[in-house]
Structure 1
């Protein structure tokens, strides 16, 4: 597990333009399995804790609205200088939280890399 997550984090850091931080956390417990940042003042574990509440709120909304055939693929939050992406694993048990610099980000490349790994996260954790 650790080798896979370390490789995932390093791949994002190396290949995602504008990479700021990433974490991988379990939705049920909130436990963070990976936390990596290139900005010392940015705490991806703390950000994940808050974004877990966003994920849970959206899951509750889906349930209350009776959208039982729907699942969250990802949630994108655009700030003035950053883009935060919350990507849910295929089994719905984990999420990847990624922060990138909005002025440098290539969302197509970023989503392609996330999609490659999110399929594996469910089976490797």
Structure 2
């Protein structure tokens, strides 16, 4: 779990980070949480974003797309929500969820940094 804690702390160091979660999209359960608070319940966000990931995977299957999700981006008026499925063999079925304050975040840099964190995360 120390590896997870380090990854979550690194994600929270991204400029504009409001909260981060490591989520099992089979169950919708958060395996680790950091940040959140007023207006951002990470447990609810983890469960809700699980539905989003499952729906996208089902759609890709129905379309016959032989591809992988790099990330899913949801833009709100005041926030960015980035969902990044883990690609390592040990990370199968997991995703990182990062909520960012839109006024403080650099989306391109946040996506780049989250990719680095995901690549280095070993479960």
1:31: how far off?
2.6
Q: Which runs of 5+ in 1 are unaligned?
A: none
1:4: how far off?
1.3
CA distance in 1, matches of 2:36, 2:30: 17
CA distance in 2, matches of 1:38, 1:111: 19
Aligned position for 1:22? 20
Equivalent of residue 78 in structure 2, options 76, 81, 84 = 81
User: Normalising to structure 2: TM-score of the pair?
Assistant: 0.88
Contact preservation (8 Å) 1:19, 1:38: no
Contact preservation (8 Å) 2:84, 2:97: yes
Q: Which moved more, 1:50-59 or 1:18-27?
A: 18-27
Superimposed CA distance per residue, residues 26-53 of structure 1 (whole angstroms, 9 cap, x where no aligned partner): 1222231111115344211210100000
After superposition, the CA RMSD in angstroms is: 1.5
User: Normalising to structure 1: TM-score of the pair?
Assistant: 0.87
1:64: how far off?
0.7
CA distance in 1, matches of 2:15, 2:50: 25
| 2:3 counterpart SS class | helix
Aligned position for 1:64? 62
Q: Which runs of 5+ in 2 are unaligned?
A: none
